[in-house]
Amino acid sequence: MNDDSRKVSAAINAPAAAEPGRNAYSYFPGCSLTGSAGEYDASFRLTSEALGIRLDEISDWNCCGASPAPHHWSGNLGVLLPARNLHIAGDGHEAMVAPCAGCYNRLKNAQHELTGSEELREQAARVLEEPVRYEIEILNLVELFAREVSPEALAERVQGRLAGLNLATYYGCLLTRPAKIMNFDNHRNPVSMKPLLRATGAQSDHFPFKSECCGSYMGLAKKEIVLRASRRVIEVAAGLGFDAIVTACPLCHQNLDLRQGQINKAFGTSLDMPVLYYSQVLGLALGLGSDDLGIDAHAISARKLLAKIGKGAGGPAAATSLKPEANQSTPASIGTIPAAGS
């Protein structure tokens, strides 16, 4: 294990600490964040700790079922697997967070199916040997930070540390669709990342491909579909002058970051676009180190982007309460389609 890997590993295993009285959440990391997207887990834990958010990883969690389980011959495996995680998480807190967009999507879908089917609830109860707890609130990472951190307080704390960057927000498919089940943001034109990104001092112009598909799981069977789809997303971002693409999905990150070399080889392009996790960007704004956040683990180097950070910005500010006021929820623009310039 090299030095960078040790730093990421240490960050992943670092205990989460929170300010007394702050909200605590059941944390479902899922398979990706404990494997190929370990830097996402590390950055989420560290950024949450810096913001005073306590994460309690649920015990003995299992795979959410991901893409294959819903198509299992039994028909119900795609519900029963995430149902067990909902059941365990519901024993600890009133809300849980799933940073992986795929896990979030499966958990929300399972909750929807359980709510509408007494037969499924009874089947889950037989498997669990007790009535299933499934009504816990499920949040994705973007929702969690929007709930716990106000843009005004973040801006005061970070003092424009990310000024000079223009960041493309990329949501992909799984965070917002199907819209009636996810019930998060506007599925055609989501805007939830923008308030906190702009609070860091960064610019975040309109990115017209923010909800286009990157190819998703098709990379396993039809790699050329993923290469074409991801190429379009990256080329549009590069053509509009963005410094990086920001995502909250490990599969999107894999397709947009790890496959850039494959895209360049297949199409003769020379793409070189950094792709960062939302938690990594907020961590950078808070003064956390890029090594600890796992940014050096990415396939596409972010050195040029990192060189822009901190010029003229102050050092890390003292920890303050960043939680929105009680009457402040998600941005008022959510649920409406903003103008193209937003």
Q: How would you classify the pairing of strands 24-27 and 54-57?
A: parallel
Tokens matching residue 154: 């973040």
Every domain of the chain with CATH number 1.20.1050.140 lies at: 3-139
Q: What residue spans in the chain does CATH classification 3.40.50.11810 cover?
A: 150-308
Nearest to 26 by CA among 133, 149, 146, 128: 133
Weakest-pLDDT range from 148-162, 176-190, 226-240, 323-337: 323-337
Q: What is the pLDDT of residues 7-64, one digit of tens each?
A: 434 443 333 333 333 589 999 999 999 999 999 999 999 999 999 999 999 999 999 9
DSSP 324: P
Answer yes or no: is pLDDT of 319 > 80.
no
pLDDT of residue 333: 28
Q: What is the pTM of this model?
A: 0.85
What DSSP letter does each residue of 62-106 carry, written as one string? ----TTTGGGSTTS-HHHHHHHHHHHHHTTT-SEEE--SHHHHHH
Q: Cis ω on the peptide bond leading into residue 29 (within 30° of 0)?
A: no
Residue 106 has pLDDT above 50, yes or no: yes
pLDDT value, residue 259: 97
In three-state form (DSSP H/G/I as H, E/B as E, the rest C), the secondary structure along 14-69 is CCCCCCCCCCEEEECCHHHHCCCCHHHHHHHHHHHHHCCCEEEECCCCCCCCCCCH
Distance CA 48, CA 52 (A): 6
pLDDT value of residue 316: 40
Query: What is the average per-residue pLDDT within 160-188?
Result: 97
Higher pLDDT, 17 or 301: 301
**Cα dihedral sign, 61-67-68-71:** positive
68, pLDDT greater than 80: no
On whether the 3-139 domain is CATH 3.10.580.10, my answer is no
Q: What six digits make up the tokens of 119? A: 């037969």
Name the band, by pLDDT with cuts 50, 70 and 90, for residue 92.
confident
Has domain 150-308 been given CATH number 3.40.50.11810? yes
Predicted local confidence at residue 101, as pLDDT: 97
Local structure of residue 247 (DSSP, 8 states): E
As a whole number of angstroms, the distance between CA 200 and CA 162 comes to 6
237-261 pLDDT tens trace: 999 999 999 999 999 999 999 999 9
Cα 57 to Cα 185: distance, rounded to the nearest angstrom = 26
Tell me how far apart the alpha carbons of residues 167 and 256 are, in angstroms, rounded to a whole number. Answer: 15
Rounded to 5, what percent of the chain is helix, strand, coil?
A: 45, 10, 45
What percent of the chain is predicted at pLDDT more than 70? 81
Q: If you average pLDDT over every residue of the chain, what do you get?
A: 86
What is the distance between the alpha carbons of residues 145 and 154, in angstroms, rounded to a whole number? 11
The residues, any chain, with a CB within 8 Å of residue 37's CB and separated by 6 or more, are 100, 250, 253, 254
- Which pair of tokens denotes residue 50? 């810096």
Amino acid at 291: D
CB neighbourhood size of 179 (10 A): 12
